[in-house]
Homo-oligomer: A and B are copies of this chain.
Amino acid sequence: MDRFTALQVFRHVAELNSFAEAGRRLGLSPAAISKNIAELEAHVGARLINRTTRRMALTEEGRIYLEHIVRGLDAFSDADRALSPLRMGPSGTLRVSAPMTVTLTRLSAAIPRFLGKYPEIALDLQLDDRRVDLVREGFDLAIRGSDHLEDSTLIARKLAVMPHVLCAAPSYFEAHGRPKAPPDLRSHQCIRFSLSGHADVWEFKKNGRIERVAVSARYSVTSSLAVRDALREGFGLGLIPFPYVENDLREGRLQCALEDWRTVETTLYAVYPSRQHLAPKTHAFLDFLTEEFGQ
């Protein structure tokens, strides 16, 4: 039986002192009211309402029961109401995981604007290049740089594609020469971003031809920014997302090599647990992200 409606019926009947009136309020037939009360009494094992066709009054049991019931029902409507602000406007605490580098280079400057737009949102932003477990660690959303398809039941929205470029400092090219084709890389000093899915093997394409080069690197590091720093110092060649070195290239601090070859690209995804019942706060942040990376 449906306890919940039975209890609601009981409450209405008790407070309105009438079966028929309760039925009208709840949009139920008199028959339904009668049955609900009877069921509830059967469940409780006690008569709750003494009644004839014209009069009705709670029994002692009924009074005691009602008292508790009302507390319970109120708690439930409170529960629904407690969620409505979170459902209405974007508010609450938003837990986001994002990789350090991409955040610092492309996002963190814009975040105050986001927080300014949604004063009800508190942002807990965890910068971490690990691939975090969304649900285990309770994140609402994560940003991931991924080069392969998403694996799990999570939802992924593509934010941006970051093509990689092979580059080094002018001083490096002067000292070691400039590679003409991918295989030349074997004799070069390569700097490796170790968290990349293609850290060990660098891939180049031209005219449908694919060249793979197993890279041996004396310097592996878990941040592309550290790679960039090393590149600037002329320590070696690196494969690095274009946006990170855009300024360096324009201003001549770094130069590209093998520009006629296409190489890997990192796709940036926003990942979240489910598309259903997406919380407004999460929705707002998603919009912010797509807008921010969309330009």
Contacts and interface: CB of A to CB of B under 8 A. Distances in A.
Nearest to A65: B79
A274 interface: yes
Interface size class on chain A is 35 or more
A276 B277 CA distance: 46
Interface in A58-74: 58-61, 64-65, 67-69, 71-74
Contacts of A52: 134-135, 152-154, 273
Contacts of A152: 52
Contacts of A136: 55, 57
A45 interface: yes
Contact of A75 (B60, B61, B71, B86): B71
Contacts of A78: 68
A277 B80 CA distance: 35
A74 B74 CA distance: 12
A109 interface: no
Given A50-B273, A276-B41, A56 B135 contact: yes
